[in-house]
Amino acid sequence: MFLARVVGDVVATHRHGELGGRKLLLVRRLGTDGHEEGAEVIALDVIGVGVGERVLVVQEGGAARTLSRSARIPAQAVVVGVVDRVDLIDGEVPEEGR
């Protein structure tokens, strides 16, 4: 599980039947300093979030299958929450990486 920021929507007109009309998002992992880091991941949106939001992502196929209620869905990462705040021992993870 990791913190990420939604950086875009993924539009695919031809897709696996199990994906149906489910929304796909492009997310980028966030470090503890709030800055974006690493490569982007395409994640299934099961809660309805938008570009720019900080989210909690589970990257594990079993979670994708359970949350989508499909044993055959070809997804590994799923957005499972919107992050309001992260408290650390030495402070808070900044909203915009400042």
Residue 95 lies in a domain: no
- How many other C-beta atoms are found inside a 10 Å radius of the C-beta of residue 33? 11
The pLDDT of residue 98 = 42
Residue 98 lies in a domain: no
Residue 74 lies in a domain: yes
Q: Dig out the tokens for 24 from the structure.
A: 């796909």
The pLDDT of residue 13 = 83
Burial of 77 (0-12, 13-18, 19+ CB in 10 A): buried
Taking only the tens of pLDDT, the chain with its 98 residues reads 999 999 999 988 877 766 777 788 999 999 888 889 988 999 999 899 999 999 999 987 677 777 667 777 777 789 999 999 888 887 666 676 54
Q: Count the domains in the chain.
A: 1
Domain that holds residue 25: 2-87
The pLDDT of residue 72 = 73
The Cα 44–Cα 69 span in angstroms is 13
The Cα 15–Cα 60 span in angstroms is 20
Whole-structure pTM over 0.75, yes or no? yes
Residue 94 lies in a domain: no
